[in-house]
Amino acid sequence: MARPEQVLLLEPQHELKFRGPFSDVVTTNLKLSNPTDRNVCFKVKTTAPRRYCVRPNSGIIDAGTSINVSVMLQPFDYDPNEKSKHKFMVQSMLAPPDMTDMEGVWKEAKPEELMDSKLRCVFEMPVENEKTHDMESNKMMSSSLLKSDSSSLPPKSMSSTLDDGEVKKIMEECKRLQMEAQRLREENKQIREDDGLRMRKSNMMSSQHTSVGMKKEEGMSARTVALIVLFFVVGIIVGKLVL
């Protein structure tokens, strides 16, 4: 059985164009409109999920309303000779009146209830004088999307800027730590100098003790020699007297 025709109106209908340079995130928009009198569930799928970030990638479009889907192409090395084979598919179905679990509805959906539209991706590199403008517009669009996502987070999870008082406290603390480090370096230097002085004194004292000991030994050896000579002379004299 053939699938029913897509009830959503897509803008653009067949192509998603991304204009370089591609050294940064490039964003393009896809508008989904629901002209019917019933709510419509939708999903956005791609053949290259790692290369794109889609916000929102699923949801419900109320009757008679529309929604803008932002498709963000991640940075990559662009090759003009390589044609893009990436494709997107917008899948939709009429929302049941008593729907409470959207994931459950998708799982239980029958093939004949699903509608889809396919779009191919086209990469374009602008001329030189347009590159700067396109890069700025892409950055502004990406930053606005990030801000809108972060606005739903709790205040504690959002980054906050420091006021002048906190900055002053941090500067004072850094200055105090620097002074403390300088003081420790000076103390360390003084300790090393004191250790060197003590070592020099101990070396001098040990050398003095050594010289004194040598002098004492020399004096003792001289006296010993004198005594030996004296005994020798006395022995000779005694020997003559006996004879």
Query: Which string of DSSP letters, residue by residue, matches 195-231?
Result: HHHHHHHHHHHHHHHHHHHHHHHHHHHHHHHHHHHHH
**Which 8-state DSSP code applies to residue 127?**
P
AA letter at 209? H
Tell me, yes or no, whether 42 lies in a domain.
Answer: yes
Tell me, yes or no, whether 186 lies in a domain.
Answer: no
Please state the separation of Cα 60 from the chain's center in Å.
Answer: 36
pLDDT(130) > 80: no
pLDDT(45) > 80: yes
Residue 204 vs residue 87, higher pLDDT: 87
The string of pLDDT tens digits covering residues 58-74 is 999 999 999 999 999 99
Summarize the confidence of residues 33-57 as an average pLDDT: 96
The string of pLDDT tens digits covering residues 16-25 is 999 999 999 9
Tell me, yes or no, whether 114 lies in a domain.
Answer: yes
Q: Which two tokens stand for residue 91?
A: 């899948």
Summarize the confidence of residues 33-51 as an average pLDDT: 96
Tell me, yes or no, whether 108 lies in a domain.
Answer: yes
Counted domains in the chain: 1
Summarize the confidence of residues 34-56 as an average pLDDT: 96
CATH of the domain at 112: 2.60.40.10
Tell me, yes or no, whether 30 lies in a domain.
Answer: yes
Which one, of 92, 122, 95, 104, lies nearest residue 37 by Cα?
A: 95
Residue partners of 235: CB distance under 8 A and separation at least 6: none
Taking the complete model, does pTM exceed 0.85, yes or no? no
Tell me, yes or no, whether 101 lies in a domain.
Answer: yes
Tell me, yes or no, whether 144 lies in a domain.
Answer: no
Cβ 78 vs Cβ 21: under 8 Å: yes
Residue 41 vs residue 154, higher pLDDT: 41
Summarize the confidence of residues 8-37 as an average pLDDT: 96
Residue 54 vs residue 148, higher pLDDT: 54
Question: In angstroms, rounded to a whole number, what is the distance separating the alpha carbons of residues 21 and 194?
Answer: 66
Beta strand 40-46 with 26-33: parallel, antiparallel or unpaired? unpaired
Residue 86: domain span: 9-124
Tell me, yes or no, whether 135 lies in a domain.
Answer: no
Q: Which two tokens stand for residue 58?
A: 């699923």
